[in-house]
Amino acid sequence: MSLTHSERAKSLDGLLAFPVTPFGQDGELDLPRFERHLAEMLDARPAALFVACGTGEFASLTPAEHREVVRAAVAHVGGAVPVFAGAGGGTRLAVEFLRSAEEAGADGALVLPPYLQVGPPAGLVAHYRQLAATTGLPLIPYQRSTAIFSPEAVAELAELDQIVAFKDGHGDLELLQRIHTATGGELPLLNGMPTAETFARAYAAVGARSYSSATLAFAPAIARAFFDAFERGDEDVQRTLLREFYVPLTELRHTTEGYAVSLVKAGLDVQGRSAGPVRPPLVDLSPAHRAELSRLLERGHAALAVPAGA
């Protein structure tokens, strides 16, 4: 008997972890630091790890580096949680990333939008059909930027066995509701917005309760506390953490393009767990923004000790 989408995507039910890719001061991969980073994240009990994706600076990695990162993650995790690898670019390049990830032992792949090229929904369907035909890995399309789907296109893709979920970072809740309806609620939806916690309740209303947390990579205690409060419906804790940490963090993120990733690495650095600099075209935080992030981390961690309702 074939499994339903929900059964195949069970490993995606929860808090999803997106590690950074550490670099040394020389700009090269720092795999020992990567393994320590993964251990820190696993302590927060994520449902799955997504390596070499957006937070992991996929666009800045060579195919050889991508393969090293995926292989290191699979070996270090040892099956404790599923490991999904990023894949992207044009169709033929994405196929190469998928084959490499499969050979490295990945459990699935998050397919990032093709870069520069913008095609209609029919083109996106053709892209994903070709990818699905070349791999046995479970695939998750990621809607954002240059990859915006129609509900009909997602419903067509949902018929493919390899498509196990649909991640949204576009933020159009009406479109997401139409996608949810077109797929009969069978295809799991994932909240993939930057600082996803600020969207958690809104996305839950259209069936997307699981989300990717960049905060988990640099402030796992805060990320875990928010998700647990979200799961149990504790509005007081959610409001406190939104006020003290998440909403100010989004305001800081909006100051500079690329800070969605740069903030994560800076957050590790200011806490003495540096993962090195970001690669161009991203930029590291300015001194003033580093100081502001440090203050936000202090406020966020202090809020964890505030009694409910305070």
The domains located in the chain, with CATH, are: 5-232 (3.20.20.70)
Q: Scan for tokens 């930027």, then name that residue.
A: 145
Q: Is the peptide bond before 120 cis (omega within 30 degrees of 0)?
A: no
Distances from the Cα of 193 to the Cα of 32, 187, 211, angstroms = 29, 18, 8
DSSP state of 54: T
Short-list 210, 192, 209, 200, CA closest to 142: 192
Q: Which residue has the tokens 């393994």?
A: 35
H helix count then E strand count, the chain: 13, 8
What contacts 299, CB < 8 A, 6 or more positions away? 244, 245, 248
Q: Is 142 a catalytic residue?
A: yes
What pLDDT, on a 0 to 100 scale, did the predictor assign at position 234? 97
Q: Considering 128, 167, 211, 259, which one is annotated as catalytic?
A: 167
- Nearest Cα to Cα of residue 104 among 137, 133, 81, 149: 137
Report angle CA 194, 200, 205 to the nearest 5 degrees.
130
Q: Which run of H or E residues covers position 270?
A: helix 259-270
- Of 13, 4, 5, 8, nearest to 208 (Cα)? 13
Determine the pLDDT at residue 226: 98
Distance CA 208, CA 290 (A): 32
User: Which is catalytic among the residues 128, 142, 203, 259?
Assistant: 142
pTM here? Answer: 0.94
* Rounded distance between C-alpha atoms, residue 307 and residue 88, angstroms: 44
Q: Across the 310 residues of the chain, what is the mean pLDDT of every consecutive 10-residue run?
A: 48 93 94 97 96 97 97 96 96 96 97 86 94 95 94 97 96 97 96 97 96 97 97 96 98 97 98 96 98 98 71
Q: What span, in angstroms and rounded, lies between the C-alpha atoms of 149 and 154?
A: 7
10 in catalytic set:
no
Residue-level pLDDT at 9: 57
